[in-house]
Structure 1
């Protein structure tokens, strides 16, 4: 398939953009064919058609886009994800008091049980018996296990909430960035389409002006001119292979008319 004539290309919808992306991929780009004229498509387009000739079509389109894109741009959606420290502080402020209260209640219960043991042992005349000491140790061990359980549950809950919230924050940040990229793509797409229309109109007018300045000459001069050229040089003119060749061809047609131009090619053929 021949290269697309980008000077004639009009991007009116996503299918047109996809066609452009496929063409760029055929020339070495590695684009996702998604119909979005984003930064990667723009870069591939400029790489293919802009760097080789900064005075050509791509350069002209690029210049037009630079001036038109601000007209189609809208404000960005700015979203900064919360830091892990900020998220942690929020949940610790809400959950730590509850955990501390539960630990305090457990400690108070242990103290109350130990006081009851002391009172009971004194009333029975047991004093500091081994039984009482052993019971107090069991109460202390139970209290330690309960406090460890409360701390573990607290730490697990904090970690779970931090992870879930951090994931939501990243998701919101990603959605905001995608939203901004879509806005930028839409602005580029509209600017590109508008630039194409403006560039095509300018080129059409320039061609019209250029044609109007072609100066005809006599048939004799045309014969003398072509007779002095090699077949290869004449072919360059007949095919319009160079800017100068196109200009000479226009002068010949203007001077001889279309039928005369066709006839003179038979007299002085190109290679």
Structure 2
């Protein structure tokens, strides 16, 4: 790991200022991705801006659910009010990594990093969430732009994620047995208006929705409604863990499981 300048600002404004002044700075939230990457020599930032000093954690459940960006996965998984409002989201958080990762990693860090196999992006898309930053609000459909890529501008900080409360929600994933990242994960939700959303992570270059499944579930929110609906393998990931064809098959299986969990 190379030398770097460490900053621990106490306000969002100070964090943004430190990042703008750095030649090649990185924000540090939980550090579950950044620190291992630096140890492997794959990233050598000039400056680290540690966001833990912002003390921006907490969950508010009202007409919507607002989760501050510094909230850990363990806090999301264990929040009683959230379990009642959006059980699928709480269950998703409880299945991320191991206890160490869940008690250190944060929801803001996860979505800002946008790993193609991360769990939270599927919840953001599946629940039609809104990403709050220090300067604006971005719909989840516009936030995730590609592999490790988001709509965040240089220096922009995620401050909170706002989730509408659905009628039903469920998440199912087929985890890599070593990393517990999703080889395929599917979040399914039925909105308050009855419209369904289905979001897939782990299968492609980034999180994506499945319109055909959404249309079927909007008419009949049941696993049986997904019979015969497939996702083409053409643009899916293929590696030593699973072929693109196997991931395509898993999308159908995980989607049905997610719907059953939601019901």
Bigger proportion of residues as helix: 1
TM-score clears 0.5: no
Give the TM-score, by structure 2 length: 0.18
Give the TM-score, by structure 1 length: 0.17
Bigger proportion of residues as strand: 2
**RCO higher in structure (CA 8 A, sep ≥6):** 1
